[in-house]
Structure 1
Amino acid sequence: MLTTLFLSLLACGALYYIGSAIYSITLHPLASIPGPLVCKITRIPYWYVSISGVDVPWMKTLHDKYGPVVRFGPTDLSYASAEGWQDVHGPKVQEKALEFFPRPVNDTPPMLTQTHEVHTRVRRVFSPAFSTRSLKAQEPLFLKYAGHLTSKVSEVGRDGKEPIDIGALLNFTTFDVMAELTFGHNLGMLAKSKNDPWVESIVGWLKMLPLVAMINYYPILRVTVFDKLQPKWVSKQREKHCAFAEELVNKRLEKGSTKPDVWKFVLDDKGQGLALPEMHSNAEAFMLAGSETTATLLSGAIFYLLKSPQTLNTLVEEIRSSFKSQEDLTLENLGSLKYMTACIKEALRVYPPVPIGSPRNVQKGGQMILGKWVPEETRVSVHHWSTYHSEANFTEPDSFIPERWLGTDPKFANDNFAAHQPFGYGYRNCIGQNMAMHEMRLLLASILLKYDLDLCEESKNWADQKSFALWIKPKLMVRAVPRVSEKN
């Protein structure tokens, strides 16, 4: 009796799955959108490559085969075009697919993952802290850390006698900068040439993001497996991480400060109703978004410059002919360097710090995207890497050629520059992009003003990396020899 019942239930389950599979590839509203047959039935292929850290080249392969729109899951679409940015991230409000983000420990999401209404309110509060006025006020702080970085390069590299991991020094610098802007004091990482345990926990958590996304995607897994079997050290680490951020924010608020950090500009405007838990969660988000990505881009820029000697020489000539000392590297002066800006833009294209897409849920009623009606509850995203490395968008897309951004070479006249949106597009674009651009210009110029760099043999294939939402970077070993004028 029980055996018969079990077999009947098994047969019903099999029939349901087979029926769902047939519907998904024949009658489903997304059935006509190209993609691998198995991906139209199940998300398992995506989960496999995502958890393996190879989803970026996998998605690029799909776009190369199927075109600017790919169905990579039963209800998942990826785009690789300028029109995709306009339709997915444009005027029509689409909420973020929250299963791709871990649940906040304090149950208060940062504005990054908030609903449109809350995001708009919180962003309005923080906007003064990232304005041109605040950036100008923060300029001495950035110059201070640029000086610390160049001194540390000499100290660690013994004036070019020893190779250094320039990527690590950049990470220490950007985290210290963001900590001072967010908490009122740095973490001492650059001074100690060592990661703070709190920062290590942030980076370590990145590798778990694909697994977290899969568990959140299937609520039954979270209820029946993860919540019950999750190792205690994981939850304790997250709780400790959140508590540390809260403590630093609370101390900064209690002590007060006249320094032009984030809270100075927010509190000067009375906080506009920003709740304390919102301060905590957003401070934690700023630390990662404003540091890891900046250091990643700078590491990529240095790597590609060292692999392109002629390009490096052109940039070095621009910097050294424009500036005599680090004190000359002001916001206005750096912004006038056309070739420097072109190099950073090209690095953001060839090696975007966030290579994946940021998925949105199509809202009730559906939406037209690239001329095709997409039903509600479909997850849609524009894939940075695939878009920037597409021959349909850029000439010689896999080559590092800053000249394409100067508008002087007809070879690149047909490049679709609107497809390049490394800071996002629309109302949810990066609030700190102007700050990031200045910091990238300043740190890169500071290094190249003082040092001649040479890539070590062990880092020749540095760009061969896995990705778990962000790149997992190996050491970037270089020799940094003080230029002749710096020795005298």
Structure 2
Amino acid sequence: MSGRMAQPTAISQQYQSATAFIYLVLRAIYRITFHPLVRFPGPRLRAISHLPHAFCGLVGRQPYDVRELHSKYGPVVRICPNHLSFITSSSWEDIHGHAATKKLQKYGYFRVRPDAQAMLTTTGDEHARQRAAFAHGFSQRAINDQEPTLTLHVNRLVEKLEQQIKHTSTFDVGEWMRFLAFDIIGDFTLNTQFECVENQRYHPWVTLLMKWFRASSFVTNANAFGQLAPFIMLFAPVAHLKGVKDHLDMSAQKVHERLAIGDDPKRNDLWTYLLRSKGDKALSLGEMEVNAALFLIAATEPLSDVLCGTLYFLALYPDIRTKLRTELEACIGPDGVLNMAVTARSPYLLAVINEFMRMYPPIPGGMRRKTPNEGHIISGIDVPPNTVVTIYQLPAYTLSTNFALHDRFLPERWLPADHPERPKETLADRQEILQPFSIGPKNCIGKGLAYAELKLILARFVYHFDFETVDDGFAIDKQTAYLFRDRPPLRLNVSVRI
């Protein structure tokens, strides 16, 4: 009896397997013959399946892989069955500009809490409301008010590095940049003193954030597997996912502590301005909590990436470092103080930062958007409805499509066109493609603060120290990148300038 029962079950399983196989074959044929994106170039395997792209994401090589595809297939590439990557100069405006934002929706984000959304993941009126509430906290006035606090943190870094050099002149400068980034944003965002620089080690909370980066990247790439996503999530790093929850809980606790202080006129942190938002602009408690958690992430790792990466290039090119130092010395007033006003008068400092973010964008991937039901025009190309579109920053900035001498670190390309030191080869550069903070109404709200921090920290480091590389461990094209870069140690030989 049991033998007769087993035979139909085996036949049923074979039938299901055959049906699934036929479905996959027919779907593959459709995707390379009749799919709306068949006219866009790219490998056939990419047109058939999401797996190659998702796998590259899981191993941290996705931006580099997409760069190879653009190098071979041109400025628009089909990188997945329903996903196009653009590196055209007009694509920023067509995907993220003010008019485009009303049509193209964010795609691929997940809610960190079911009861509240952060500004990063909101759309439409909800995004506008939250952004309006935070706008004053990131205004130029607020940035200027932050200078004493920022200066305090930078002074502490310089002091500790001078002490470090007395013991050993060769150390991981990248770690110190991460210490500093967390100290600054913890103070500004959550009124919390991490004291990473002071103690020369990561606060336990910072360790949780490192887990967040990996967990977020894993979830994003797992979702690309479609129906296989639940299976892929079985292999998710449980400790990292738990770190996400712990970080949210700790952020919420700190928000409560800060709200208990109220609108203290002696404080100039983010909440000083947020607490003054009333009526329709006011945020719910849940929105405050999730935004605090995400700000702490978004303003630390990219900042430290740019800091240590720029120092890496300045170590490789001492002539550029000398040129920058000479300009800074010329900008310093009779009081001899190197402050934000001085760095604002240094065009070559901004050129160095821009060139570094071109060569080594802190977010080498891109933000995904989905075209509306009626389709959308991007760079003069009619893109079909419900297509995922992305500007991958690494290929957009580091291919000859947009920049001459694309593989050279050349800050002079960002000087005015009539500047005598501007290389003629770079006059046709499509500089508008460089948008590391995005554009439009959903661009990075902290752009102004980030530039102020970068300028002051880099200027003070270059002014106070000499430095050179001791090995090639930081080689940028060998690095992996997930949500942010999985950055190796930056070992420099550092000395105090006499």
TM-score bracket for this pair, using the shorter chain length = over 0.9
* Structure 2 equivalent of residue 87 of structure 1: 94
Alignment equivalent of 2:468, drawn from 450, 454, 461 = 454
Q: Does 1:294 align with 2:265?
A: no
**How big is the shift at 1:81?**
1.7
Q: What's the CA shift for 1:22? A: 1.2
- Give the conservation status (yes or no) of the 8 Å contact 1:47–1:210: no
SS of residue matched to 1:70: strand
1:473 aligns with: 487
Matched residue count: 480
**Per-residue deviation at 1:6?**
2.8
Q: Which runs of 5+ in 2 are unaligned?
A: 1-7
Alignment partner of 2:106 out of 96, 101, 104:
96
Q: 1:254 deviation in Å?
A: 0.4
State whether structure 2 residue 136 is matched by structure 1 residue 123.
Answer: no
Equivalence for 1:191? 198
Is residue 319–residue 448 contact of structure 1 (8 Å, CA) maintained in 2? no
Partner of 1:365: 374
- The amino acid that maps onto 1:125 is A
> AA paired with 2:448?
N
Return 214-223 or 357-366, whichever deviates more.
Answer: 214-223
Mapped partners of 2:471, 2:85: distance in 1: 37
Indicate how the Cα distance of structure 1 residues 412 and 235 shifts in structure 2: closer, same or farther if over 3 A, else same.
Answer: closer
Amino acid at match of 1:243: D
Q: Distance in 1 between matches of 2:13 and 2:172?
A: 60
Residue of structure 1 in register with 2:478 after alignment: 464
TM-score with structure 2 setting the length: 0.91
* Mapped pair 1:43 → 2:57: no
One-letter code of the match for 1:157?
Answer: I
Decide whether aligned partners of structure 1 residues 376 and 414 sit closer, same or farther in structure 2, where only a CA change above 3 A counts: same
Pairing partner for 1:377 from 367, 382, 386:
386
* 1:207-222 correspondence runs (5 A): 207-218=214-225, 220-221=227-228
Q: Over residues 29-65 of structure 1, what are the superposed CA-to-partner deviations in whole Å (9 max), with x where a residue is unaligned?
A: 1001000000000011111111011112111000000
Please tell me whether the aligned partners of residues 58 and 221 of structure 2 are also in contact (alpha carbons under 8 angstroms): no
Q: What residue ranges of structure 1 are gaps of 5+ in the alignment? A: none
Correspondence 1:440 to 2:454? yes
Please name the residue that 2:3 is paired with. none
Amino acid at match of 2:355: E
| Equivalent residues of 1:334, 1:442 under 8 A apart | yes
State the 1:195 CA deviation. Answer: 1.1
1:345 match: 354
- What letter matches 1:380 in structure 2? V
The alpha-carbon distance between structure 1 residues 242 and 87, as it changes in their structure 2 partners (threshold 3 A), is: same
Query: Are 2:145 and 1:137 equivalent residues in the alignment?
Result: yes
1:242-287 deviation line (CA, Å, top 9, x unaligned):
1111111110110233311000011123372200110011111111
- How far is the alpha carbon of 1:16 from its aligned partner? 1.8
CA–CA distance in structure 2, aligned partners of residues 378 and 117 of structure 1:
23
Contact 2:209 2:243 in 1 (8 A): no
| CA contact 2:212–2:240 (8 Å) conserved in 1 | no
In 2, Cα distance between the equivalents of 1:174 and 1:325? 30
Q: Which whole-Å CA distance do the structure 1 matches of 2:111 and 2:238 have between them?
A: 16
Match 2:250 to one of 231, 236, 244: 244
Secondary structure (helix, strand or coil) at the match of 2:382 reads strand
Alpha carbons 2:216, 2:483 under 8 Å: kept:
yes
Note the 1:381-420 alignment, pairs <5 A.
Answer: 381-407=390-416, 408=419, 409=422, 410-420=424-434
Cα distance change of structure 1 residues 455 and 326 upon mapping to structure 2, 3 Å threshold: farther
Q: Aligned equivalents of 2:440 and 2:197: distance in 1?
A: 35
Instruction: Tell me by how many angstroms 1:366 deviates.
Output: 1.5
Distance 2:331 2:345 in 1: 10
Query: 2:215 touches 2:237 (CA, 8 Å); kept in 1?
Result: no
User: In the alignment, is the contact (CA less than 8 A) between 2:215 and 2:236 conserved in 1?
Assistant: no
CA 1:326/1:180 → structure 2, altered by over 3 Å: closer, same or farther? farther
Moved more, 317-326 or 28-37: 317-326
Q: Cα gap change, 1:266/1:210 in structure 2, threshold over 3 Å: closer, same or farther?
A: closer
Residue 154 of structure 2 corresponds to 146
Kindly tell me: are residues 153 and 72 of structure 1, through their superposed partners in 2, closer, same or farther at Cα, counting changes over 3 Å?
Answer: same
Partner SS for 1:200:
helix
CA distance in 2, matches of 1:393, 1:84: 12
| Equivalent residues of 1:142, 1:439 under 8 A apart | yes
CA–CA separation in structure 2 for the residues paired with 1:229 and 1:458:
33
Pairing 1:203–2:210 present: yes
1:405 deviates by 0.4
- From 39, 56, 59, the counterpart of 1:32: 39
Distance 2:275 2:215 in 1: 35
